[in-house]
Amino acid sequence: MEVFLEQFIACDKSRNTLKTIKTAVIAVLVFGVLMFFLISPLIALLMQIAAVIFFLVTYFSFIDYEYELFNGNIDVSKIYAGSRRKVVKKINSEDVEFVYESSNNAISKDALFNKNIKGLKIYTFEFKDRKKVQLALNEELEKIVKIVYRGKMQIR
């Protein structure tokens, strides 16, 4: 039986803010190029560097998450600024030793979700090598995880 489910966790920051920041970065870059020809190359260079730094900080602060469950294996992807996707974790059901529900107070640094988790339950997947990953699951994905990982579910 093949099972395929997807879950998307949107960024906890507004899309309008992202668009405004992108527009501001482009404006600063264009203004910097004009400054290069009209006033001072040094000021223009400083503006260009500031725009690039601002862009990079923005790019890495607007992160969406996507979980894809296929036949018991879960792929977790980060989507940066709505444009670039990177698979950050592949959870193979055979490598998982324990799965248990965690409280919202027990969020670890290994959490693969942002603060936009209203209505989601946090589950910790503990691997045989003692590494842990936390995911925020919706009801549909939670139900399938409880079925697929039923022999590995624990109450803590």
Model confidence pLDDT, tens digit, residues 19-67: 777 787 777 777 777 777 777 777 777 777 887 887 787 777 788 999 9
Give the angle subtended at the CA of 120 by the CAs of 149 and 123, to the nearest 5°.
35
Q: Residue 71: CB partners within 8 Å, gap ≥ 6?
A: 2, 3, 4
Q: What is the pTM of this model?
A: 0.75
